[in-house]
């Protein structure tokens, strides 16, 4: 199942970088497969934390009238955390931060845009950390 997740994840990253959007069927296919994969050993506490973070970020977006994360990021974040054990959460967040900052610098340097796709940081960090 993991090779299929990697292929779908690569496709999501490709579309997010190219179009700044991901096709809904591809996103739903990845999310459904990920949910099936996660239910082997679900980490409900990690997913609940991810959900609370998404709700908090959405509140900040609402108050500031400025988007911080894309809809695909908000959907996949708690789903990805279903597979990250609580002991590995700090490592995942640090990895997301490092990959995100690196990707932001690369994106701004080569495309000269202030905003950048964040889905690559979420997925690459997950794939790098998941067993």
- Residue 69 CB partners (closer than 8 Å, separation 6+): 54, 57, 61, 77, 118
User: Can you tell me the distance from the alpha carbon of 49 to that of 35, in angstroms, rounded to the nearest whole number?
Assistant: 16
Single pTM value for the model: 0.91
pLDDT value of residue 54:
96
Q: What is the pLDDT of residues 25-44, one digit of tens each?
A: 999 999 999 999 888 889 99
Provide the residue range defining the domain that includes 17: 2-129
Q: Is the pLDDT of residue 1 over 70?
A: no
- Residue 89 CB partners (closer than 8 Å, separation 6+): 46, 49, 81
Number of structural domains, the chain? Answer: 1
């Amino acid at each position: 199942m993991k090779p299929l997740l990697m292929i779908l994840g690569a496709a999501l990253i490709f579309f997010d970088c190219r179009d700044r959007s991901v096709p809904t069927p591809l996103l739903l296919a990845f999310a459904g497969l990920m949910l099936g994969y996660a239910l082997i050993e679900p980490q409900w506490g990690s997913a609940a934390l991810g959900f609370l973070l998404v709700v908090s970020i959405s509140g900040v977006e609402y108050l500031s009238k400025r988007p911080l994360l894309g809809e695909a990021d908000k959907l996949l974040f708690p789903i990805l955390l279903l597979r990250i054990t609580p002991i590995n959460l700090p490592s995942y967040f640090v990895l997301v931060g490092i990959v995100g900052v690196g990707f932001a610098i690369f994106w701004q340097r080569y495309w000269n845009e202030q905003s950048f796709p964040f889905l690559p940081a979420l997925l690459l960090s997950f794939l790098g950390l998941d067993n």
